[in-house]
Amino acid sequence: MTEKQLNIKNLVKLHTSLWYFLILWFALAALWYLLETETAEIFSYTGIVLTIALTILRLAVLSEQFRRLARLRFQLIGYLLILIILVTIMIKYLTL
């Protein structure tokens, strides 16, 4: 029995949207640095937080696609990876 394959087109669409969003955000932050530093730093900081959040979103979307294909093993691996990233962040935050 062959396993159902992932819908790569959806993943490409997601990545293209993220690409446009991030380039706009960071271009705005870069231009803002020419005008004023304080707001630009907030832009930059938020941009990094968003990048991390969007990376976790990529994983969540992948896991969801595996769930729809009833491929439980890979769905769990996706969620495990999200968990590892979040636990790493939390441990660092708590031991600060």
Partner 1 sequence: MLDLLIYLSCGLSAGIVGGYLGLGGGIIMVPFMTLLMGIDIKTAVPVSMSAIVVNSISASNEYMKKNMVDVELGLILAVFTVLGYITGSYLSDIIPGDYIKLLFSVVLLYTAFSFIRKKKNNLEAPQPVGRGTYLFVSVFVTFLTGIIAALIGIGGGIIIIPVLFLVLNLPLTVVRGTWSFTYGFAAAASTAVYLINDRIDLALVPPIIVGIIIGGKIGGWLGTMAKPRAVKIAFFILLIYTAFKLAYGPLTGML
Minimum Å gap between C-beta 14 and partner 1 is 9
Nearest Cα neighbor of 47 from 22, 83, 70 is 22
Q: Is 33 in the site for partner 1 (CB under 8 A)?
A: yes
Min dist CB 5 to partner 1, Å, is: 9
Alpha-carbon distances, residue 84 vs 3, 66, 88 (angstroms): 27, 19, 6
Q: What are phi and psi of 7, to 5 degrees?
A: -85, 95
Residue 15 binds partner 1 (CB under 8 A): yes
Q: Rule CB under 8 A: say whether 88 interacts with partner 1.
A: yes
Among 4, 45, 64, 68, interactor with partner 1 by CB under 8 A: 45
